[in-house]
């Protein structure tokens, strides 16, 4: 159990940051799923549109420190490769 005021504040802060970060990660996953659904349906135009929506969300996640830069880069690269192969 935390004894110092700083440690107690840190526990409160960590709890609130966890909820915010979780919602950010969830939002990114939702955008990724939209691209994957369009790819599975074979709709290249929809997949390309969804891919354009994913990129800034991932970049925002990287900027906020929610996901690692290389992870975002890898995921975006693989998605764009799959979208390009639809045509």
CATH number of the domain where residue 34 is located: 1.20.58.110
Residue span of the structural domain in which 17 resides: 5-84
For residue 58, name the pLDDT band (cuts at 50, 70, 90). very high
Q: pLDDT band for position 87 (50/70/90)? A: confident
Alpha helices for the chain (secondary structure H)? 5-41, 44-63, 69-84
pLDDT band of 84, cuts 50, 70, 90: very high
- pLDDT of the residue at 47: 96
In the chain, the number of structural domains is: 1
Query: Nearest 5°: CA angle at 83, between 82 and 87?
Result: 110
For the residues 2-31, what does the mean pLDDT come to? Answer: 95
- Please give the Cα distance from 20 to 41 (Å, whole number): 32
Q: What secondary structure letter does DSSP report for 67?
A: S
* pLDDT averaged over every residue in the chain: 95
The DSSP 8-state label assigned to residue 86 in this structure reads T
SS3 category, 64:
coil
The average pLDDT across 65-84 equals: 97
């Amino acid at each position: 159990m935390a004894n110092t005021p700083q440690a107690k504040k840190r526990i409160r802060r960590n709890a609130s940051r966890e909820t915010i970060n979780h919602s950010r990660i969830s939002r990114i996953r939702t955008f990724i799923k939209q691209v994957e659904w369009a790819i599975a349906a074979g709709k290249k135009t929809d997949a390309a549109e969804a891919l354009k929506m994913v990129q800034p969300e991932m970049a925002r996640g990287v900027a906020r420190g929610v996901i690692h830069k290389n992870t975002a880069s890898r995921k975006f690269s693989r998605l764009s490769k799959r979208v390009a192969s639809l045509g």
